[in-house]
Amino acid sequence: MSKKTPYYVQSEVEICNEFQTSPDGLSSDQVAKNLETYGPNKLNEQKKKSMLAKFFDQFKDFMVLVLLAASLVSAFIGEVTDCIIILAVVILNAVFGVIQESKAEEAIDALKEMSTPNARVLRDGKVVEIKSDELVPGDVVLLEAGDVVPADVRFIEAASLKIEESALTGESVPVQKEATTLEDPETPIGDRVNMGYMNSNVTYGRGVGIVVATGMNTEVGHIAGMLANADETETPLKASLNQLGKVLTIIVLAIAVIMFVVGVFFQQKNVLDMLLTSISLAVAAIPEGLPAIVTIILALGTQKMAKRHALVRKLPAVETLGATDIICSDKTGTLTMNQMTVEQWMSNNQLHSANEAMDPDNMTLKIMNFCNDTKEADDGALLGDPTETALISFGKNKGFDLEKELAKEPRVAEIPFDSDRKLMTTVHDLQNGKFLIAVKGAPDELLKRCTTFEENGSVQPMTAEEEQFLLKTNKELATQALRVLAMAYKVVDEMPAVLTSEAVENGLTFAGLVGMIDPERKEAAEAVRTAKEAGIRPIMITGDHRDTAEAIAARLGIIQKGQHDAVITGAELDAMSDEEFENHVKQYSVYARVSPEHKVRIVKAWQDQGKVVAMTGDGVNDAPALKTADIGIGMGITGTEVSKGASDMVLADDNFSTIIVAVEEGRKVFSNIQKTIQYLLSANLGEVITLFVATLLGWDTLLPVHLLWINLVTDTFPAIALGVEPAEKDVMQHAPRGRQSNFFSGGVMSSIIYQGILEGLITLTVYWLAIHFPVHSGYDAIHADALTMTFATLGLLQLFHAFNVKSIHGSIFKIGIFRNKAFNWAILLSFVLLAITIVVPGFNQLFHVAHLDAYQWMIVLIASISIIPIVEIVKWVQRKKYNY
């Protein structure tokens, strides 16, 4: 038979023939042959770039190339300080990039480390223990509770075998395994009951399986391959900075060309002088400190997010969060607790909430604790099947002392759970010559064996009406996505001679029902509501069954109750073409019974719609989608190392609501970067206009040293301080800005242009006043005063303008002028550094400036402060006209 035929639809004989094995295991000779054919049970190591190669890769960024060009120009015109500063910024950014890329490689390394160290196999008819990497297809593996499945296996024996596969399939409840042959080749991974997958955990029973896939051919290996080949999505931040670099380059080249042409051809100036002047002016237009300032703002954002349990692994993720349109969230362990919990119970024909009081002597409570194989560790942790541990935990909460009760009525025999009859029975010695038969199991199967039922302390004959009532109650609980178990019992006068289902599990008295669920996190519903208010659409993706997924989604508010058309299964998704799915993707908010490939497909479908997608997850199966998404969010507590390694951000508290906190911080960071860019570019444009117009008019306004000092003083401290501005009150009331937005969106570009022109005109006006209404006489004195007043005005203008950009459209008098202490200190420090060049003796010669009298300072201050009321008026008009 072809190897392409899935092993779960092949018979035991067919599999043994393919791998030349038998139920007694491989011979030593066959092991060697299979090892040569299939290779060791290891995941492939991805070829890694050298640190040097990673470092040089960072210089392929467009903005970095622009900065390198600027550094060469600075060196050419003799501005060595500028050259050194720019190169330092570029190298610092490259170092950060290398660190981030190195962290991303940890995902594959984590996958390699997950394999179990040892496995018990049959070889040459004997049980031997070997290292898991020595396993080969055809090996017969023995498994029992507590083992980790060492490779993909096809079961040929299964005794009450349950395997927890949530890290691979996303299903919260362990899967009952059977040694059967399936018929449908399209059976989803979560329904392949005859298969065990590498790195899943055996929680109950025992089994024997034939290894059918090792290493990269396993499901985990398949995920490793997907993870290695997953597309690295360009973040909105990187795209925006690249666009900014291109825009600046065009501006720079245009200014340089115009200046050169005007000077040489219209003013007949020296070609070399005009070349140097044009280049100097162009360099002034580039905010060389911008990448460093953006990095600092992002780093400060990561610190704030860390304090709120969101640990950022990659700096751009901070800003990307703010652009998020879609949050695709894994259900198990993310939106839910990943812990089965009793939610409702029924006794005496009455339904009760789990929070209601329950008599410790209640028979339903007694049976769920007696008929149970849960063990308790030394530290109090409950070990066993999650369903059974939930029952024991419920009993403890209701005051049932299991150890004490078992001492009085010890277990003396049992009939283990069997997937065919769907029941489990224990026998207890009542110490009075009689024995209690305690049975729990599927309600429909158990009711067939009940002849009586309990009601208000008395035992009544089971009627057809009563049976229909109990089945109806069971169905109602099941439609709420509850896993329902029934409890029944009988007391016999002697120990059963034969412990079989036919001999013992009949003539029972029905005691009650218990409904359990993996409950949603308390804060998740509120987080979903907040996300929707912020215009973000939550999408739930799970390996659970459709009904369970729909019920949980409705309880969380992701969909409306009864909104069946918003739910789709992995099988239904497989039946759709990519084009058909893309046309209907907006319809679906819940995906059930999905595989890792489905998750990547869902993320890409939304990205093709132009949406910025965040993906949360904690399992191995989430890793490829986490890497493909614009931002992958791993779980810090329940998450596997693989999911954490593939993530951009990790939630330290596994709290879904922390994502919303991070989104708010991300929006604030983007807004603050936008403010910083607006401030820097409007200031640089003001400098360019001042020099450009002055050159055209033949005025000598500013020297290179003045531009250098103003840029150093006003660009650095206020710009960084703007990066820590508190979030504006309505930051979570706006729709996500989306993938198409950039730092110039929302009126920022027009603000940069008019504010830059305004700064230039105010500065030139002060120069004109100083020349035409001088305080001193003599050309040199007048020129020195005019140059000094121009220098002081341009510097102070930028400091006062920093107050304007604390809010792009809001009035600074409403948001609070002085609420940011870091900003206040930055402005004060910059003012002092600017002032000492003029007022402190000795500095004026160094900077070629003169001392100003009170009248001149008054003109400078009035001119500088005037930018605040002018911009406030423009903002007011914009708010009225564009409803900002």
pLDDT in tens, 469-506: 999 999 999 888 899 999 999 999 999 888 999 999 99
Q: How many CB atoms lie within 10 A of CB 850?
A: 18
In contact, 484 and 514? CB cutoff 8 Å? yes
CA distance 672 to 808: 9
pLDDT score recorded for residue 270: 75
Of 145, 126, 180, the C-alpha closest to 8 is 180
CA distance 420 to 8: 19
pLDDT score recorded for residue 114: 44
Question: Between the CA of residue 283 and those of 69, 249, 429, 624, 681, what are the distances in Å?
Answer: 10, 10, 92, 43, 13
Q: Just give the CATH number of 19-45+116-229.
A: 2.70.150.10
Active site residues: 330
User: Would strands 450-455 and 458-461 be described as parallel, antiparallel, or unpaired?
Assistant: antiparallel
CA distance 204 to 314: 40
Amino acid at 545: H
Residue 735 falls in which region: left (phi positive, over 0), alpha (psi -120 to 50) or beta: beta
Q: What is the pLDDT of residues 670-679, one digit of tens each?
A: 888 889 989 9
The residue extents of the domains of the chain are 19-45+116-229, 51-110, 312-337+521-654, 343-512, 667-727+739-882
Q: Across the strands, what pairs with 409?
A: none
User: Would strands 140-144 and 118-123 be described as parallel, antiparallel, or unpaired?
Assistant: antiparallel
Residue 642, phi then psi, degrees to nearest 5: -65, -50
CA distance 481 to 476: 9
Of 82, 55, 63, the C-alpha closest to 71 is 82
In contact, 278 and 259? CB cutoff 8 Å? yes
Low-confidence ranges of the chain (pLDDT < 50): 1-3, 100, 103-104, 107-108, 110-116
Q: Just give the CATH number of 312-337+521-654.
A: 3.40.50.1000
> Exposed, middle or buried: residue 272 (CB in 10 Å: 0-12, 13-18, 19+)?
exposed
Cβ within 8 Å of residue 569, ≥6 positions away: 546, 591, 592, 593, 594
Q: How far apart are the first and last CA of the chain?
A: 68
- The three-state secondary structure class of 511 is strand
Of 150, 149, 179, 154, the C-alpha closest to 164 is 149
CA distance 204 to 173: 12
Side-chain half-sphere of 612: how many Cα atoms within 13 Å? Answer: 26
CATH class of the structural domain 667-727+739-882 = mainly alpha
Q: Across the strands, what pairs with 426?
A: 414, 438
In contact, 221 and 43? CB cutoff 8 Å? yes
> Exposed, middle or buried: residue 26 (CB in 10 Å: 0-12, 13-18, 19+)?
buried
pLDDT score recorded for residue 61: 60
Tokens of 91: 């190298």
Tokens of 74: 């600075």
CA distance 558 to 536: 11
CA distance 759 to 749: 15
Sequence-ordered alpha helix ranges (H) in 609-699: 623-628, 641-646, 656-697
> Exposed, middle or buried: residue 69 (CB in 10 Å: 0-12, 13-18, 19+)?
middle
Residue 133, phi then psi, degrees to nearest 5: -75, -10
Of 785, 792, 783, 784, the C-alpha closest to 763 is 792
Residue 176, phi then psi, degrees to nearest 5: -75, 125
Tokens of 865: 């402060």
Domain 343-512 bears CATH identifier 1.10.1740.10: no
- The alpha carbons of the chain give a radius of gyration, in whole angstroms, of 36
